[in-house]
Amino acid sequence: MGLFWSKTSPPTDPMMETDWCEINWGQNNEMKRSLRKLQLKNPAVDHLRILVVGPVGGGKSSFIQSMKGIFLDRMINTACTVATGGKSFTKTYTTNQFEDERGRNLPFVISDVMGLENGRDSGVQSRDIIRALKGHIKEGYTFNPVMQCPVNDNSSPTLNDLVHCLVFVIPIDNSTANWCMENDLIRRMQNIRQVTCDLGIPHVVILTKVDLACLHVKEDIKLVYKSQTIYRKAQACSHALGVPMSCIFPVKNYHEEKELNPDMDAVLLFTLTQILDYANDFVKNIKEPEGDSNDSFFSM
Ligand SMILES: Nc1nc2c(ncn2[C@@H]2O[C@H](COP(=O)(O)OP(=O)(O)O)[C@@H](O)[C@H]2O)c(=O)[nH]1
Ligand SMILES: [Mg+2]
């Protein structure tokens, strides 16, 4: 385990012969339309809830902001939401809603938490993430790295408060990844994944900063599923976290661009479509608890 990125090849590796995943380029409007009209598979659920977790500076907020921009069909200002230093900019449990360019709400939300950090007394505590998964953390709760969220913060969560798909956001550029992927952080993510598995909540991994990991991809995002460098990092991540390759999605977030790029949008929209499909499959089988136990949501 440990610094599993450091053994990776230089960023100018040759391309693979075939893509390890096919993206339908040029279908952005169709993908956006399907997501807007997504039929939720459980009538008691108003929206699918996605939770993003991962190391501070990994690109969680940038992923959310990129999605907002894509659906609004314009760039949005991220100066107050995206981190520039090593500390987490996001301190509260924040749920992001999405609307399209005509102001219509989309049938999903993405919740953002404080980033994971190395060391016991910094970053979000794993137990708080587990509480968030079960819907026990209220909107606006301010995370405290040295104190867990009180047990009764939200003692009677509804189906809409539960997390329907967990997304680990992991940067794969060498400079951030080397300190992000310390044993301590990997272990914490493995623990969170184990609880997610126990609860039956689907989860995926998004690999960010692919442009910094591979020069070819920086020049042409369409090569993202052809780059050997990115494929190997995805495999390393799959082994470290125990998540199958089919659930690992490399993306490039908007970070320095001044206008939208249809190929970047295609990769991001493809990824979101998969995540929401998993979330929608999950809600199909969940019911309101009958007794007092909040965990009975998960006894299917
Ligand atoms: N080059 C590049 N930079 C990115 C990408 N995603 C995020 N960033 C940058 O990484 C930094 C941290 O991002 P942020 O979204 O705040 O991370 P968070 O702490 O996980 O929410 C910011 O400076 C972003 O602009 C990406 O895909 N490529
Ligand atoms: Mg953030």
For residue 2, pLDDT over 50 is answered with: no
For residue 167 and ligand 1, the question of a CB distance below 6 A is answered with no
Best probe residue, ligand 1, of 60, 62, 214 (max atoms within 8 Å of C-beta): 62
In a domain, 24, yes or no: no
Span from the CA of 180 to the centroid of ligand 2 (angstroms): 14
For residue 229 and ligand 1, the question of a CB distance below 6 A is answered with no
Nearest protein Cα to ligand 1, atom 14? 59
In a domain, 145, yes or no: yes
In a domain, 152, yes or no: yes
pLDDT digits (tens, 9 = 90+) for 202-213: 999 999 999 999
Domain of residue 264 covers 47-96+104-285
In a domain, 123, yes or no: yes
For the chain, list the strands marked E by DSSP.
48-53, 94-99, 105-112, 165-171, 203-208, 248-250
Q: How many domains does the chain have?
A: 1
pLDDT digits (tens, 9 = 90+) for 279-294: 999 999 888 766 555 4
In a domain, 19, yes or no: no
Q: What's the Cα-to-Cα distance from 294 to each of 18, 158, 286, rounded to whole Å?
A: 46, 9, 12
Which residues are within 5 Å of ligand 2 (an ion), measured at CB? 60-61, 89-90
Nearest protein Cα to ligand 1, atom 28? 209
For residue 90 and ligand 1, the question of a CB distance below 6 A is answered with yes
In a domain, 299, yes or no: no
CATH code of 272's domain: 3.40.50.300
Nearest protein Cα to ligand 1, atom 19? 57
pLDDT digits (tens, 9 = 90+) for 41-56: 999 999 999 999 998 8
For residue 156, pLDDT over 90 is answered with: no
Span from the CA of 170 to the centroid of ligand 2 (angstroms): 12
State mean pLDDT over 138-148: 75
For residue 262, pLDDT over 70 is answered with: yes
Tell me how many degrees the CA angle 252-189-41 measures, rounded to the nearest 5.
70
Q: Is 30 exposed, middle or buried (0-12, 13-18, 19+ CB in 10 A)?
A: exposed
Mean pLDDT (the chain, rounded) = 86
In a domain, 42, yes or no: no
